[in-house]
C-alpha cells in the first residue's frame, strides 16, 4: 500500500531537509520522480542532494506541466494534435472574438471586444474555465457576461478542434487518461516527491491523482499558507502529516517571523534582533542601491553570492534598478526570469506590419528605418533576398518536448555567429548604402514624400521617389549656379546620392508588402513573414522564433495583417533575455513564487509599500466573483487571491535561513509624494514583537538603518560605498561639513589627479563660476599667435571666395567664418506641402515665358500688337498646359489639389504679364 506523507512548514529549509531525507531513504540508483513548481528549483535540489550523497542517479526532475507533456506526447500524436503555446492561445482567442463579432453573437462585450488587451484577458479567462471543466450551458446563465463568454468558449473549443491543437486542459486530460490505463508507462510506479508544488486547477489535480495512484511512496512538502494546494492534496489521498526534524530557534526574530506571520492569534512578546532588518530608502532606485550595499557587507562576512536572494513582488519595477545597482557594485546577478528590454528588431518588424496595415505608410516605414535594424544591402543596393534562416519556438514550458527544436536553434545560432558582419554591419565599407544597420537616406525624407499621398500603392511610391529626385537635382543645379563653393551644394549632392540608396532599398520591400493579401490563413501569413524577416532585419532569429510558436495555427483563418500584428505585438516589442545557464556564484533575483523549493542564507524582500506589496486583488472583469461562486468552487475568487498575495510574502520570508532584509521606498520619486509602509510591514513587526508598533517610531527606525538621503546619493562613510562615485561623494560630504576649513583644505586634490578629463572638467567649472570676465571656458577665444597662424591660410588675400561668401563677410564675419571656413549651414526645415515651392514655380514661370515668346516670334507676332492679344493668350495657355504636364510627370507632386491650384494661380500671373 502506498505511503502518502505531507509536511507543512513555514521554513523552506525544514521542508528541503525532510525532502532530502525522503530521497535518501531509497537505495542508491532507485528512480525517483521529483516534481516542483519550477524546473530550476528541482534541479537545485538534485544538485545539493548529489553533492551530499557523493554520487547518485535516477532522479527525474520536471514540473507538472512538463511531465504531462511527456506523458501525453504519444496520445496527442495518435489523435493528430499539436500542443498550443500561450501565444497561440491568445491568437485563437482573438480569432474567436472576430468571428463572434462578425456573426453578431456578442453583445455585452461588443464595446470593448476590439480594444488592446481584451484578447489576452479573454484567453486567460477561457483557460481557467477549461481547466476547471466549466459547462458552457451553466456559464450562459450565471452572469450578465455569461452568454457572451459561453459563445466565446464554444468558439475557442471549435477553433482548437479545427486547428488540431491541444491547450493545457486537453494536454492534462490526455496525460491523465494515459496514466489511468493499464498500458506501459515509464512514470507509473515511481516514488514521487512533490517539492512545494503549486496545484491551482482541477485538471492538474486529476492528472496528479492518476500519477499518485500507482506510486509506492509519496512525500509532499507544502509552504504554510498554501491552502489551495493543501486542500487539493487532501482530496487526492489520505496524507499522513509529518513533523519537521529541524528545531527552530524560537528565541531569534527570523523563526518567530516565519511562524507567526499573518497568524490569527496574538504572538508572544519578543525583541527584534539582527536576523530581521527593516529599512527604508527614498525611491526604488536608492532602495536597490542599499540592497547592493547590504549584499556586499554580507559577502565580506563570508556569505557567497549564490546564498543571497532578492524576491521582488513587482519585478517590472525593481529589475531595472537592481540591474544598475548590481552593475555599479560589481555583483554578479542571476535574474531567474531573465531581463526584459525593448527589442529594436521586433519593433522594427512591427513597424513594417503597421506600414502594410496602413496602406504602405511612409511614416511607418521611416519608423522601421529609425531602429537601425536594416541588413547589409546587396551590390546593387537592394535588400538581401534568399537568406536561409530557421529558429525554433521560444516557448520552453513543454520541457523535453522542445529539446530537439532548442538544439536545432542553438546549432543555427552557432552558424549565424560565425558571420558577425551580418549582425553589426562592421564590415560595411564607407559609402555603402547601409552602415551599422542605418540606411543612408535624406533627412526627414518621409515628410518630403508627404505621408497622405504616398498611401495608395507601390506605384505611387515609385512615382513620388522619382519626382523627388528630379526636384532635388533642380535645386542642386540652382545652388551650383549661384555658389559652387557653398557647403549646401555638397550637402545636397549627398542628399541626392542618399535618395538613390533609399529608392533601391525601399521599393523591393514596399512591393513585398503591397503583395500581402487582404486576408489569409495563418499558415500563409507565417510563410510570408518568415521570408520577409531575413530580408529586412539584420538579426531576424528572435522574430522567426516567435513566428515558430504560431506554426500550429496554420489552418486557422482568414485573418488580416492588423490581426497578425496585434497577436505578436507584445512578444516582439520587448526582448526577454534568458538567464545564465548556471546560477551559482551569482546573487539570485526572482519573484516570491520562485522561492518554492529553495533556501538561502540571506534574503531581501523590497517594496513593502502601499500599492506595491501587496498588490490590490482585483476581480476578473470578464467573470465576476458572484458568477464564479455559482459556477464552481474550483474557480478563484477574491478570498483565494488575497490568500495567494499573503502566501507570496510567506514564501519569500520562509526562504531565509539566517537573515532577512525587508524594505520599502518612502518616497514616490515619479509623483513626488511620500509613501508609507503597507500593512504587511506592520504585520511583520507584530509577528516578531507580539504587538503593533507606533507608526512614526517605526518609520524613523527604518530610515535610520540605511540612512539613505535623496539629496546626497552616497553613504555617510566612504568605506560603505558601492562604487567610486559614491566613495568620492562620501569623502566630499565629510569635507563640506568639516568645521575647521584648514583641516579640509587640499584633501580632495586627488580628484584633479585621478583622471585628466575629470580634472579639466572641475577646473573649467570653477573658472566659469569663480573667475571674473570672459575666458575660453565660456566658449570665447582671444586672438593669440597660435590662432593667427591657423586663420592665416583662410584670409581673403590668400584664397579665392565666391561672391556669396564675400556677401556673408560683409554682413557678419562670424557667419562667413562658419560658412566659408567651417563649411556649416543651417539645416533646412521641411514644411508641409501647401503650395508650390518658389524654385518650381519660378522655373515653370520662366519656361512658359520663353516658350510663349519663341512661338510668337516664329509666327511673326512679336513684338506683340494689342489686336493679336487673343491669339497670344491661346499660345500661352497651350505652352502652360504642355509644360505643366511635363513637370507633373517628372515631379509627381504629392497632393494633386495643391499642384492644380498652383498652376491656376500661375496662369493668372502669366496673363497679367502678357
- If you compute the radius of gyration of the chain from its CA atoms, what whole number of angstroms results? 36
Q: Compute the distance between CA of residue 824 and CA of residue 160 in angstroms, rounded to an integer.
A: 64
Total number of residues shown for the chain: 914
Pairing of strands 82-83, 333-335: unpaired
Q: Which range, of 77-81, 242-246, 425-429, 860-864, averages the lowest pLDDT? A: 425-429
Residue among 337, 300, 307, 303 nearest 322 (CA): 337
Share of the chain above pLDDT 70, in %: 86
* Residue 799, CB-side half-sphere exposure with 13 Å CA sphere: 10
Distance, in Å, from the CA atom of 156 to the CA atom of 90, rounded to the nearest integer, reads: 10
Tell me, what's the pLDDT at 779?
Answer: 65
DSSP string, 224-277: TT-HHHHHHHHHHS-PEE---SSPP-TTSHHHHHHHHTT-SSPPPP----TTEE
For the ranges 212-216, 652-656, 665-669, 783-787, the maximum mean pLDDT occurs at: 652-656
Confidence (pLDDT) at 717: 86
Q: What is the mean pLDDT of residues 493-512?
A: 81
HEC string of 754-802?
A: HCHHHHHHHHHHHHHHHCCCCCHHHCCCCCCHHHHHHHHCCCCCCCCCC
Q: How far is CA 498 from the centre of its chain?
A: 32
Q: Which long-range contacts (C-beta less than 8 Å, at least 24 apart) are formed by 544-548?
A: 544/389, 544/390, 544/391, 545/391, 545/392, 545/393, 545/394, 545/409, 546/87, 546/346, 546/394, 546/571, 546/572, 548/391, 548/392, 548/393, 548/394, 548/405
**Cell numbers placing 599:** 533556501
Distances (CA, A) of 158 to 99, 203, 368, 866: 11, 20, 37, 85
Q: Look at 97-106, 393-402, 450-459 and tell me which has the smallest mean pLDDT.
A: 393-402
- CB 94 within 8 Å of CB 120: no
Q: Does residue 891 register a pLDDT over 80?
A: no
pLDDT of 409 reads 47
Lowest mean pLDDT among 33-37, 710-714, 771-775: 771-775
Least confident of 16-25, 113-122, 588-597: 113-122
| Pairing verdict, β 667-668 and 308-311 | unpaired
Would you state the cell numbers that stand for residue 315, as one nine-digit string? 519585478
**DSSP state, residue 399:** G
The span from the CA of 755 to the CA of 817, in Å, is 34
> In which region does residue 196 sit, left (phi positive, over 0), alpha (psi from -120 to 50) or beta (all else)?
left
pLDDT digits (tens, 9 = 90+) for 560-581: 888 888 888 888 887 766 778 8
Tens of pLDDT, residue by residue over 260-281, are 999 888 888 888 888 999 999 9
pLDDT value for 826: 67
Using CA atoms of 844, 849, 855, 861 in order, give the dihedral in degrees to the nearest 10: 160
Cell of 219: 512525500
The per-residue pLDDT for 401 is 45
Angle, vertex CA 484, rays to CA 478 and CA 487, nearest 5: 95
Instruction: Evaluate if residue 103 carries a pLDDT over 80.
Output: yes
For residue 436, pLDDT over 70 is answered with no
Q: Which residue has the higher pLDDT, 654 or 913?
A: 654
| Greatest Cα-to-Cα distance within the chain, rounded to the nearest angstrom | 124
Task: Kindly state the cell numbers that stand for 208.
Answer: 496528479
**pLDDT 10s digits, 702-753:** 888 888 888 788 888 888 999 888 888 888 887 777 655 566 677 778 778 8
- List the 333-335 sheet strands across, edge first: 276-281, 656-665, 600-605, 308-311, 587-590, 333-335
Q: Are strands 667-668 and 673-674 parallel, antiparallel or unpaired?
A: antiparallel
Res 778: pLDDT: 67
Q: Please give the mean pLDDT across all residues of the chain.
A: 82
Range scoring the smallest mean pLDDT among 241-245, 637-641, 695-699? 241-245
Name residues whose C-beta falls within 8 Å of residue 264's C-beta, 6 or more positions apart in sequence: none
Q: First-to-last CA distance in the chain? A: 114
The residues that bridge with 604 in the sheet, in sequence order, are 310, 661
Model pLDDT, residue 655 = 95
Contact 298, 324 (CB under 8 A): no
Residue 314's nearest CA partner among 333, 340, 276 is 340
DSSP-derived pairing of the beta strands 333-335 and 587-590: parallel
Strand partners, 673: 668
- Measured between alpha carbons, how far is 361 from 451 in angstroms, rounded to an integer? 7
pLDDT above 70 (res 159): yes
For residue 734, give Cα distances in angstroms to 286, 703, 719, 723, 754: 20, 20, 13, 17, 19
- DSSP annotation of 603 reads E
Q: What is the pLDDT of residue 845?
A: 85
- Above 50 in pLDDT, residue 411? no
pLDDT tens for each residue of 382-403: 888 766 665 555 555 555 444 4
At 289-328, the pLDDT tens digits run 999 999 999 999 999 999 999 999 998 889 999 999 999 9
pLDDT for the residue numbered 444 = 57
Helix axes 64-79, 168-180, angle to 10 degrees: 80
What's the pLDDT score for residue 603? Answer: 97
Q: Which of 678, 677, 614 is nearest to 646 (CA)?
A: 614
Amino acid at each position: 500500500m502506498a505511503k502518502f506523507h505531507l509536511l507543512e512548514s513555514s521554513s523552506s529549509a525544514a521542508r528541503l531537509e525532510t525532502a532530502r531525507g525522503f530521497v535518501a531513504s531509497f537505495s542508491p540508483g532507485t528512480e525517483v520522480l521529483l516534481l516542483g513548481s519550477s524546473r530550476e528549483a528541482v534541479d537545485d535540489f538534485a544538485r545539493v542532494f548529489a553533492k551530499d550523497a557523493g554520487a547518485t542517479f535516477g532522479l527525474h526532475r520536471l514540473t507538472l506541466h512538463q511531465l504531462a507533456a511527456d506523458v501525453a506526447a504519444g496520445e496527442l500524436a495518435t489523435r493528430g494534435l499539436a500542443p498550443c503555446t500561450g501565444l497561440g492561445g491568445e491568437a485563437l482567442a482573438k480569432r474567436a472574438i472576430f468571428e463572434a463579432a462578425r456573426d453578431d453573437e456578442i453583445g455585452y462585450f461588443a464595446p470593448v471586444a476590439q480594444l488592446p488587451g481584451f484578447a489576452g484577458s479573454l484567453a486567460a479567462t477561457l483557460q481557467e474555465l477549461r481547466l476547471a471543466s466549466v459547462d458552457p450551458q451553466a456559464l450562459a446563465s450565471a452572469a450578465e457576461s455569461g452568454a457572451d463568454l459561453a459563445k466565446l468558449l464554444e468558439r475557442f473549443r471549435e477553433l482548437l478542434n479545427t486547428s488540431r491543437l491541444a491547450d493545457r486542459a486537453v494536454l492534462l486530460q490526455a496525460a491523465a487518461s494515459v496514466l489511468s490505463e493499464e498500458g506501459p508507462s515509464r512514470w507509473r510506479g515511481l516514488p514521487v516527491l512533490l517539492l512545494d508544488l503549486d496545484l491551482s486547477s482541477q485538471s492538474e489535480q486529476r492528472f496528479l491523482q492518476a500519477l499518485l495512484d500507482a506510486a509506492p511512496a509519496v512525500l509532499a512538502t507544502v509552504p504554510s499558507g498554501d491552502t489551495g494546494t493543501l486542500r487539493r492534496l487532501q482530496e487526492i489521498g489520505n496524507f499522513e502529516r509529518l513533523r519537521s526534524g529541524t528545531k527552530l530557534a524560537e528565541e531569534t526574530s527570523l523563526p518567530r517571523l516565519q511562524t507567526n506571520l499573518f497568524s490569527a492569534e496574538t504572538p508572544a512578546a519578543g525583541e527584534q534582533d539582527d536576523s530581521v532588518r527593516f529599512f527604508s530608502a527614498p525611491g526604488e532606485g536608492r532602495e536597490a542601491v542599499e540592497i547592493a550595499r547590504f549584499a556586499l557587507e554580507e559577502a565580506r562576512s563570508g556569505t557567497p553570492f549564490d546564498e543571497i536572494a532578492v524576491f521582488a513582488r513587482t519585478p517590472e519595477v525593481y529589475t531595472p534598478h537592481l540591474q544598475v545597482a548590481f552593475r555599479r557594485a560589481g555583483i554578479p546577478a542571476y535574474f531567474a526570469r531573465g531581463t526584459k528590454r525593448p527589442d529594436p528588431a521586433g519593433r522594427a518588424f512591427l513597424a513594417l506590419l503597421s506600414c502594410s496595415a496602413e496602406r504602405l505608410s511612409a511614416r511607418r516605414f521611416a519608423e522601421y528605418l529609425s531602429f537601425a535594424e536594416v541588413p547589409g544591402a546587396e551590390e546593387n543596393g537592394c535588400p538581401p533576398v534568399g537568406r536561409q534562416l530557421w529558429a525554433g519556438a521560444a516557448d520552453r514550458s513543454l520541457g523535453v518536448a522542445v529539446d530537439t527544436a532548442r538544439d536545432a536553434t542553438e546549432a543555427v545560432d552557432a552558424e549565424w555567429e560565425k558571420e558577425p558582419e551580418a549582425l553589426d554591419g562592421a564590415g560595411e565599407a564607407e559609402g555603402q548604402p547601409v552602415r551599422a544597420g542605418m540606411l543612408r537616406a535624406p533627412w526627414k525624407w518621409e515628410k518630403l514624400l508627404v505621408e497622405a499621398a504616398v498611401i495608395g500603392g507601390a506605384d505611387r511610391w515609385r512615382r513620388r521617389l522619382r519626382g523627388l529626385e528630379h526636384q532635388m537635382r533642380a535645386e542642386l543645379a540652382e545652388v551650383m549656379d549661384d555658389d559652387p563653393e557653398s557647403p549646401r551644394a555638397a550637402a545636397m549632392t549627398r542628399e541626392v546620392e542618399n535618395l538613390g540608396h533609399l529608392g533601391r532599398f525601399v521599393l523591393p520591400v514596399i512591393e513585398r508588402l503591397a503583395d500581402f493579401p487582404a486576408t489569409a490563413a495563418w499558415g500563409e501569413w507565417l510563410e510570408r513573414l518568415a521570408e520577409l524577416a531575413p530580408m529586412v532585419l539584420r538579426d531576424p532569429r528572435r522574430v522567426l522564433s516567435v513566428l515558430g510558436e504560431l506554426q500550429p495555427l496554420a489552418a486557422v483563418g482568414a485573418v488580416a495583417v492588423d490581426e497578425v500584428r496585434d497577436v505578436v505585438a507584445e512578444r516582439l516589442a520587448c526582448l526577454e533575455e534568458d538567464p545564465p545557464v548556471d546560477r551559482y556564484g551569482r546573487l539570485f533575483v526572482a519573484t516570491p513564487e520562485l522561492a518554492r523549493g529553495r533556501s538561502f542564507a540571506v534574503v531581501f524582500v523590497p517594496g513593502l509599500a502601499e500599492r506595491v506589496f501587496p498588490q490590490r486583488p482585483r476581480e476578473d472583469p470578464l467573470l465576476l466573483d458572484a458568477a464564479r461562486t455559482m459556477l464552481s468552487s474550483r474557480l478563484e475568487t477574491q478570498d483565494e487571491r488575497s490568500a495567494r498575495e499573503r502566501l507570496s510574502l510567506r514564501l519569500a520570508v520562509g526562504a531565509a535561513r539566517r537573515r532577512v532584509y525587508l524594505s520599502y521606498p518612502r518616497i514616490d520619486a515619479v509623483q513626488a509624494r511620500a509613501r508609507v509602509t503597507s500593512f504587511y510591514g506592520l504585520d511583520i513587526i507584530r509577528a516578531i514583537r507580539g504587538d503593533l508598533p507606533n507608526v512614526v517610531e517605526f518609520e524613523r527606525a527604518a530610515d535610520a538603518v540605511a540612512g539613505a538621503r535623496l539629496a546626497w546619493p552616497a553613504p555617510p562613510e566612504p568605506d560603505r560605498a558601492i562604487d567610486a562615485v559614491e566613495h568620492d561623494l562620501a569623502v566630499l560630504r565629510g569635507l563640506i561639513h568639516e568645521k575647521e576649513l584648514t583641516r579640509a583644505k587640499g584633501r580632495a586634490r586627488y580628484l584633479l589627479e585621478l583622471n585628466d578629463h575629470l580634472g579639466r572638467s572641475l577646473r573649467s567649472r570653477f573658472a566659469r563660476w569663480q573667475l571674473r570676465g570672459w575666458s575660453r571656458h565660456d566658449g570665447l577665444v582671444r586672438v593669440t599667435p597660435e590662432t593667427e597662424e591657423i586663420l592665416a591660410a583662410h584670409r581673403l588675400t590668400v584664397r579665392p571666395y565666391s561672391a556669396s561668401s564675400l556677401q556673408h563677410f560683409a554682413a557678419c564675419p562670424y557667419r562667413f567664418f562658419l560658412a566659408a571656413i567651417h563649411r556649416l549651414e543651417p539645416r533646412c526645415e521641411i514644411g508641409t506641402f501647401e503650395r508650390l515651392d518658389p524654385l518650381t514655380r519660378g522655373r515653370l514661370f520662366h519656361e512658359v515665358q520663353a516658350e510663349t515668346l519663341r512661338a510668337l516670334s516664329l509666327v511673326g507676332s512679336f513684338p506683340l500688337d494689342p489686336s493679336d492679344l487673343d491669339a497670344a493668350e491661346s499660345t500661352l495657355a497651350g505652352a502652360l498646359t504642355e509644360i505643366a504636364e511635363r513637370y507633373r510627370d517628372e515631379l509627381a507632386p504629392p497632393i494633386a489639389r495643391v499642384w492644380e491650384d498652383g498652376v491656376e494661380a500661375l496662369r493668372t500671373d502669366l496673363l497679367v504679364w502678357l
